[in-house]
Structure 1
Amino acid sequence: MRFGINIPPFTDPARVVGWAREAEASGWDGVFLWDHVQWRPGAAPLDPWVMLGALASVTSTVRLGTLVTPLSRRRPYAVAKQLTTVDRLSVGRAVLGVGLGEPPDRDFADLGEESDPRLRAAMLDEALDVVDQLLRGPTDVDGDHYRVKANLHPRPVQQPRPPIWVAGVAPHRRPLARARRWDGIVPIGRDDHLTPAQLADYLALDGTGASPGWDVVVDPASGVPVQEYADAGATWLVRSVSPTKERWEHQVDALVREGPGTRSG
């Protein structure tokens, strides 16, 4: 089992950099960032890819990535270039988490981006294929949503490319089917954290369950033994703090210093 923290970068950049540095020292295995342009009134998101570059320069062991990037409002070639840059800065520690993204109004419609979830899902599937090709070599795509002809250099350190994790709300089957094509899944509870039993049920929906070498990245319920999540198929437990909570930055301070622990989520 690996342990990570998923940070909303909605504060001073130096504070986010400090969290990453301290998280590595406290024994966390991964530091991930939310990816939003706007979120809720009063929130002030920083660009996660710029911040990941800064985090790569002050860490040496932790995995670094987004949880999650909504590909439908980002150009696939730009994401491929950003991911490669972070992978090279970190000497092979980058990971790309993707999903539909939220909220559909402030982060999509209000920015002139597609807000219909079905269209965004189709764009996500096509964009994933484009990003995958761009990271591997020469690309010539003429799809329904993207037309790309490129041969991007440099290539990422990780070959054939950094891992791609796909987020989806349980118990929906389509995100699970999408994630099976890539390197892992980030299952999200509809209203709260997934319990180990709910996680196991979700992974079994397609008759497959957990698979060797395929990551299952879960935000655990507090107090549940780690072994229960491991038995259900989880490979990563990633904790987060909502920026809607009072003094949320101080809660991140405490979480980072606390370290991952080994007995409960």
Structure 2
Amino acid sequence: MQHALTLPPYGELADPLALVEIAVAAEQAGWDAVFLWDHVLRQPEDPQETADPWVAMAAIASATERVRIGPMVTPITRRRPIKLAREATTLDHLSRGRLTLGLGLGVDTTRELSAFGEIVDPRLRGQRLDEGVELLCAFWSGEEVEFHGEHFVADRVLVLPRPFQQPRIPLWFAARGDARKPVRRAARYDGLYPIEFDERGLAEMLDVVREVRGSLDGFDVIARPSTPSEYERFGEIGVTWAVTGPLPGEPGVLELASTAPLDVFRSGT
């Protein structure tokens, strides 16, 4: 199993230099990845200072050599696919192939969609996600793209260079609760990032993945174990990445990053 820190770039962590310091410490301590939350607004009780995760990831990529990086997760519905394709490709080259792109529908719990007139309806957001990822993959192909969808258009465009990673940048997809369509979407790509689940729910999700793919071979499954025993059981179920990290405003992040990941998960801290 591999191990990742997920960092909320808010409050004191809105300072990109602090994020870089933490990522460097995590790499030295043996962590396999440093992922950043991708939100534009926070709850009123949370710290309101917010860093752009994509700019911060570029700084982290420049200061590290081994850890993977990525946004967990980016909602395509509030992005333009061509802009996202360019950013992801540039970051993939800057990091020499260390980017994993987390994608999802997005949420409006902090009004980060409705406050800016973005689409809130989950059905439409799902359609935009499906179209958007299809367009992303087409852009990364290095071939001319002619795409006229219900939500996005690309009229005879060639997007170069191709990503550093081939055949493309790995794509992980969020799935929340009992919804199965997001799990099937994830199964068509590279990884599943479950949110708000229990152990039984996770096992049921992985049954869906096996149904779509035939097996879990070559597929990443991400989970956030809260106890040492849960960490062990998740590994037995098929989890390939264990993630942990603070909530916005929680202290002790540098100390966490400086601790060997197995010590963190086996102690339940």
Normalising by the residue count of structure 2, what TM-score does the alignment of the two structures yield?
0.90
2:259 alignment partner in structure 1: 258
Asked if the contact 1:33–1:67 (Cα under 8 Å) also holds between the matched residues in 2, the reply is yes
Q: Which runs of 4+ in 1 moved over 4 A?
A: none
**CA RMSD in angstroms, aligned pairs only:** 1.8
CA separation of 1:226 and 1:54: change in aligned 2, threshold 3 A: same
Q: Give the deviation of 1:201 after TM superposition.
A: 2.5
Q: Give the deviation of 1:104 after TM superposition.
A: 5.0
Give the Cα separation in 1 of the matches to 2:256 and 2:228.
14
Q: Aligned residues: percent identity?
A: 39
Name the structure with the higher helix share.
2
Correspondence 1:76-95 to 2 at 5 A: 76-95=81-100
2:166 alignment partner in structure 1: 159
Equivalent of 2:133, from 128, 134, 142? 128
CA separation of 1:102 and 1:259: change in aligned 2, threshold 3 A: farther
Give the Cα separation in 2 of the matches to 1:167 and 1:45.
22
Unaligned runs of 5+ in 1: none
What is the identity, as a one-letter code, of the residue corresponding to 2:36? L
**2:134 pairs with 1:141:** no
2:37 alignment partner in structure 1: 34
1:8 alignment partner in structure 2: 8
CA separation of 1:139 and 1:257: change in aligned 2, threshold 3 A: same
Give the Cα separation in 2 of the matches to 1:187 and 1:173.
11
After TM superposition, the structure 1 stretch with the greater mean CA deviation from structure 2, 224-233 or 205-214, is 205-214
Give the Cα separation in 2 of the matches to 1:43 and 1:121.
28
What is the identity, as a one-letter code, of the residue corresponding to 2:122? P
Q: Give the deviation of 1:256 after TM superposition.
A: 0.8
Normalising by the residue count of structure 1, what TM-score does the alignment of the two structures yield?
0.91
1:118 alignment partner in structure 2: 123
Give the Cα separation in 2 of the matches to 1:115 and 1:171.
20
- C-alpha offsets along residues 198-226 of structure 1, whole Å, 9 cap, x if unaligned? 42232114653851101001112233353
How many residues of Structure 1 are paired with residues of Structure 2 in the alignment? Answer: 257
What is the identity, as a one-letter code, of the residue corresponding to 2:204? D
Q: Please give the secondary structure, in 1, of the residue aligned with 2:218.
A: coil
**2:168 pairs with 1:178:** no
- C-alpha offsets along residues 212-254 of structure 1, whole Å, 9 cap, x if unaligned? 10100111223335332111110101112111xxx51x23223
Unaligned runs of 5+ in 2: none
What is the identity, as a one-letter code, of the residue corresponding to 1:148? A
- C-alpha offsets along residues 107-164 of structure 1, whole Å, 9 cap, x if unaligned? 1010121111111111011101001111112211100000013211221110111100
Give the Cα separation in 1 of the matches to 2:230 and 2:185.
29
